[in-house]
Chain A
Amino acid sequence: MEALLKAPLTSRVYEVGDFAAAQELYHSNGWTDGLPVVPPTRDAVDACLDWALMSPDQLIGIEPVRAQPITAEKLAINAVMAGCLPMHFPVVATAWQAMMKDEFLLHGVTSSTGGCAILVIINGPIRLEIGASGSFNALANSDRATAVIGRALRLALINLLDVRPGGIDRSTLGHPGKFSYCVAEDEEGTTWAPLSVARGIPQGLSAVTVMAAMAPRQIMNEWTTDPREILETFAAEMRANQRHYSIYGGNYAIVVPSQLREHIERAGWSKRNVAEFIYERARIRRAEWAEVGKGAIVRDRGERIHAALESPDHLLVIAAGGPAGGFGAVIPPWMGSRTKAVTAAIGACIDCEPPQGKGERRS
């Protein structure tokens, strides 16, 4: 009965002789990120849609600037190409819904010379169901799930919105996160509330947060147990980013590994305490730009103070990383506050009225 009611796939079908021919078809048409892709067959795409209980023609959203509709079928094709299993697809679909919210400014994020990538942070029980790890190598090739989910976002940008280098994508440099940039929070390894909960999603729900993000800047401090000293190192890296990249405030993320979290949590500091400390410490005088070769635009505003965060709410504190090592990361925003990170619950209607106004959060 279900099969009778379901709309058929409508994408054009290509017949190729074998796996290698499929690769050449996709590469020669500019449909890849340069790496091999999984050939998207009807069965594989149907399996993704069935898992997510989506009809092929279900509208995931409409890209706000160029009015491009994004359907579940097309998104699933790109997810399969990226290597996604059906159980990964709900994360991909929800991330895309979040990306198409006006405040994310998807067109600017994907077309800017600034060259950011889209960072995805996964929270909630779905992490364990799909094997998304927030432990060893958390920001890189930590596991299959985060690798393919991050890649699926990029392939869909390329194929559904023409975000190709030199096309819509005008990045001067870009960074490696544009292949895949996805991390699961290590919720089992921390006493802190999950990022999604801090951003208004009810405890126990799975969620994704998307952020227009530059490459991670690693910090290291293994010589103190004082939360203030540990966090001062993070704040200093944010100040460095303000000096060398963009002085303007926006959504920063910090990734705090187990070894550093242990000291901060033992001292009784919550994520909110961390954010408030960083908010106060991560700020510079505009005159500092003159010290790094940018004196031409200091003008008469040298004494103006620029905070890296417009408020403590704008810091995304992520618990992730292997069990040993005092290595954390600061992930700067693409360009100030012109884009806002968006958090959305997986399996929830993003445009529906959330329970008690807590279904989604942007800041």
Chain B
Amino acid sequence: MILRVLDPTNEKKAPRVQPAARPSSLAGGTVGFISNGKEGTRGYFAQLERMLREELRVKSVVWRTKSNYSAPADAHIVDEIRNWQAVVTGVGD
């Protein structure tokens, strides 16, 4: 006996966001860090800032922290991203 069964997944996916162009160099540029605010982000981003400045000659690094670590970044932080050449975000568990 043939059973006809239905697809349980969301076949209508939300449109994918087009990623920004990848920078060829960060030298002289600005990199933004978006922290989720957890303890573990401090040491990680501090080390990353040193590496970016010393090894990739990044001029400035901007630190921002989300108001809620389990929600998307606040709108005012997202607005700032356009001024950065790259952004690094992640959890700090």
Contact = CB atoms under 8 A, between A and B. Distances in A.
Interface centre among B2, B7, B69 (most CB of A within 10 A): B7
B8 A108 contact: no
A301 interface: no
A331 interface: no
B8 A40 contact: yes
A223 B32 CA distance: 59
A42 B8 CA distance: 12
A159 B8 contact: yes
B12 A69 contact: yes
Q: How large is the interface on B (under 10, 10 to 19, 20 to 34, 35 or more residues)?
A: 20 to 34
A77 B11 CA distance: 13
A112 B6 contact: no
B89 to A, nearest CB: 14
A40 B6 contact: yes
Contacts of B9: 31, 74, 159-160
Nearest to B67: A338
A128 interface: no
A63 B55 CA distance: 41
A39 B3 contact: yes
A305 interface: no
B21 interface: no
A279 to B, nearest CB: 24
B4 A42 contact: yes
Contacts of A335: 70
Given A18-B3, A41-B3, A67-B14, A112 B8 contact: no
Contacts of A42: 4, 6
A39 B10 CA distance: 17
Given A67-B14, A68-B14, A297-B39, A41 B71 contact: no
Contacts of B11: 11-12
B5 A40 contact: yes
B51 interface: no
A5 B93 CA distance: 52
Contacts of A112: 70
A9 interface: yes
A166 interface: no
Interface string A3-22: 00000010111111111011
A92 to B, nearest CB: 13
Interface of B: 1-14, 39, 68-72, 91, 93
Interface of A: 9, 11-19, 21-22, 25-26, 31, 39-42, 45, 65-70, 74, 77-78, 81, 105, 107-109, 111-113, 155, 159-161, 297, 335, 338-339
6 contacts: A11-B8, A18-B1, A26-B5, A65-B71, A68-B13, A112-B70
